[in-house]
Amino acid sequence: MIISKDIDREDGYTLIEILAVLTLLAFIITMVAPNIINSLQSGQIKAARSQIGSTENVLNSYYLDTSSYPTTEQGLKALIEKPTAPPTSDSWNGPYIQKNKIPVDPWGHELHYKSPGDHNSESYDLYSLGKDNAEGGSGANADIGNW
């Protein structure tokens, strides 16, 4: 008995099969990518709010020790180094932030601080300008503050 092999036949995928798979992958990516991007932006906004909340706790510790919040001129640096610009306090008990580094938002920009604040005239405004680091905006570019 002679078994013949089809010598002309090659194993592999046809061009149509490859194009079908690529089309399917492109479709899946276009459906999934926006959800991933939105989730990432939403996570960054939540992280910015969390960073602001943590920094508010540190500012409250500063207030408990010194009976005032840092001035705008002193800024968040007052949480790391004892202020030399008035008003100063002998009861400063810092540094109040571990690693002696001013907090940054998820986009790598330092948080903004103003005391007294425009939104919180009795205390301070603490905020991130969002991804674009510019006033205003929406979505990931929106200002995120403690008001």
For the stretch 102-140, pLDDT in tens is 889 999 999 999 999 999 999 999 999 988 888 887 776
- Stretch (H or E) spanning 52: helix 15-66
Collapsing DSSP to helix, strand or coil, 101 comes out as: coil
Q: Are 80 and 71 in contact (CB under 8 A)?
A: no
Nearest to 51 by CA among 106, 97, 124: 106
Residue spans of the domains in the chain: they are 15-145
Secondary-structure class of domain 15-145 per CATH: alpha beta
Q: Residue 98's pLDDT band (boundaries 50, 70, 90)?
A: confident
DSSP result, 54-97 = HHHHHHHHHHHHHSSPPPTTTGGGGGTS---SSS--TT-----S
Helix/strand/coil for 31: helix
pLDDT in tens, 15-29: 999 999 999 999 998
Whose tokens are 């009976």? That residue is 67
Ramachandran region of residue 116, left (φ > 0), alpha (ψ -120 to 50) or beta?
beta
Q: What is the pLDDT of residue 81?
A: 92
**Placement of tokens 């013949």 in the chain:** 4
pLDDT at position 10 is 67
Task: Provide the edge-to-edge strand list for the sheet that holds 125-128.
Answer: 112-114, 125-128, 144-145
